Structure 1
Amino acid sequence: MSDYHDDLRLAHVLADAADAATMDRFQALDLQVETKPDMTPVSEADKAAEELIRGQLQRARPRDAVLGEEYGIKGTGPRRWVIDPIDGTKNYVRGVPVWATLISLMVEGEDGYQPVVGVVSAPALGRRWWAARGAGAFTGRSLTSASRLGVSRVGRLQDASFAYSSLSGWEEQGRLGGFLDLTRACWRTRGYGDFWPYMMVAEGSLDICAEPELSLWDMAALAVVVQEAGGTFTGLDGVPGPHSGNAAASNGLLHSELLDHLNRRD
């Protein structure tokens, strides 16, 4: 059994509370939306969900630090909860059901902070995925009603399904040529975006996905789920984990080819 079973159970409790709060305001006609300094939207639901999770963590794990997208970091120590209250806020505010609450526990070790627990809860899709280090990755309605996740065994790019969010970020970084070559080399490409393609890599319905610019709270929960499903999660620099400011995920068999394409500069 994983050493993090109790933390995983707590992450599910946190996700349950966040799901109730976010679904209560999803598609509300009077939803309040603001623009942050980085020109991305934040809704009242983002703030309320993060406040709710922080409050429960303060009661249940008062010694742990918390890092969230909306309110930054509070506390210090070897254990740090990382929260994205709504990953996919632009979808959320437009009534598109592809958004999720991401909750991860990161623990400090020899290689810095690494995620050991991750829960990805997408209530508008009726889906949830989770993992704990050494215990595998799962999807289902609860800890007791779940199916184990496993990545695909596709070993050739011409047979692979590739997902991405948009073209603009690749173009801004001078990587568009390699990105387009990758799309031409693959069997199928789709722009699912945000958390969803990483979860589909974990469950084997996609083979590769990548994004050129992400924050830690966008990636921490996704990384441990992909890794525990048998996949590979790195930055575009090939460094394992969620610390590179961007992400590439695969079934492992295609990872070097994925990185080779995306690191070709225009």
Structure 2
Amino acid sequence: MTERTSSMPGNAPFEGDLSDDLALALRLADEADRVSMERFDAPDLDVSVKQDATFVTEADLATERAIRRALETHRPGDGIFGEEYGASGDAARQWVIDPIDGTANYLKGIPMWATLIALVVDGVPRVGVVSQPSIGRRWWGATGLGAWTATPGGAPRRLAVSQVAALDEASVSFQSIGQWDAVGRVDALLALTRAVWRDRGYGDAWPYMLLAEGRLEFVAEFDVKEYDIAAHVPIVQEAGGRFTDIDGGDAIDTRSSLATNGILHDSFLDLLRDRRA
């Protein structure tokens, strides 16, 4: 089974009710939180290095297995594509999973990591859940159902991106200098930081959720896989933002991402395009 090329929803119409799928994704996140938190900051955590030189922990593997078991019970006809165990089943309806996004933080006991769960329908991310149990936060969204967040015991709050309309008033998150350097875009990064009000590297899933909450106007990454970003797409878009790759394309398998509040998306694209190495 090969991975399916996926794209952003954009203005593509969707017929159907995703309420049951979103409810299931939230239950999957509950189980993932239980498993991942059992080993977080454990002094004897088992860590190994994968063939691509990235880390994997016993918690990454156990969390993905738990999600897969639940999906095999509740959605036996759906496909699954996870970071640790690959793709299986029909890709027309495919659950895309990153059991621990931010493994380097997880293994260091740094609480900035998350479980990412998405449902991709006919190649388009339609349901997304981002759960960050170490700080007690969760975000979720689905096409036509809005984007939401909640803290433990708190009532769900609907998300909306900011209305900032000027680059010099924008706050941005760029992941890391190393990512931009690796693709020959340091000049573009420097131009970006000089054009905006504030720049920070918050890292991994959290900045996308800050954008959906209206606290940032721009998030961009390189060397990202589908499971790194699929869950973010419906949350950002249902919050009113825009999500493309770094050059404005709609595919999520091009190894780059650009999320904005929508208002400034074209301005950011123009800024980065003018300084592409």
Aligning the two structures, in what range does the TM-score lie when normalised by the shorter sequence?
over 0.9
Amino acid corresponding to residue 99 of structure 1 in structure 2: W
**2:254 counterpart residue number:** 244
1:6 matched to 2:17: no
The answer to whether the 8 Å contact 2:80/2:91 transfers is no
Of 118, 121, 125, 1:115 maps to 125
1:193 matched to 2:203: yes
**Larger RCO: Structure 1 or Structure 2 (Cα < 8 Å, ≥ 6 residues apart)?**
2
The answer to whether the 8 Å contact 2:243/2:257 transfers is yes
**Percent of residue pairs bearing the same amino acid type:** 51
Q: Matched residue of 2:250: which SS? A: coil
Query: Which sections of structure 2, spanning at least 5 residues, go unmatched?
Result: 1-14
Amino acid corresponding to residue 35 of structure 1 in structure 2: V
Aligned equivalents of 2:80 and 2:134: distance in 1?
A: 26
1:265 matched to 2:267: no
The answer to whether the 8 Å contact 1:226/1:232 transfers is yes
Aligned equivalents of 1:120 and 1:42: distance in 2?
A: 19
Query: Which sections of structure 1, spanning at least 5 residues, go unmatched?
Result: none
The answer to whether the 8 Å contact 1:2/1:134 transfers is no
Q: Matched residue of 2:231: which SS? A: helix
**2:79 counterpart residue number:** 65
Aligned equivalents of 2:254 and 2:193: distance in 1?
A: 23
Please provide the CA RMSD for this pair. 1.6
Deviation per CA, 1:100-157: give whole Å up to 9, x if none.
000000001xxxx001100000001110000010111000148993000000000111
**2:6 counterpart residue number:** none
**2:38 counterpart residue number:** 24
Of 75, 89, 92, 2:106 maps to 92
The answer to whether the 8 Å contact 1:66/1:81 transfers is yes
1:46 matched to 2:56: no
1:171 matched to 2:171: no
Alignment TM-score, normalising by the size of structure 2: 0.91
Aligned equivalents of 1:123 and 1:2: distance in 2?
A: 30
Shift of 1:241: 5.2
Q: Matched residue of 1:145: which SS? A: coil
Alignment TM-score, normalising by the size of structure 1: 0.95
Greater shift after overlay, 222-231 or 144-153?
A: 144-153
Q: Which runs of 4+ in 1 moved over 6 A?
A: none
Aligned equivalents of 2:134 and 2:36: distance in 1?
A: 9
Greater shift after overlay, 137-146 or 248-257?
A: 137-146
The answer to whether the 8 Å contact 1:68/1:84 transfers is yes
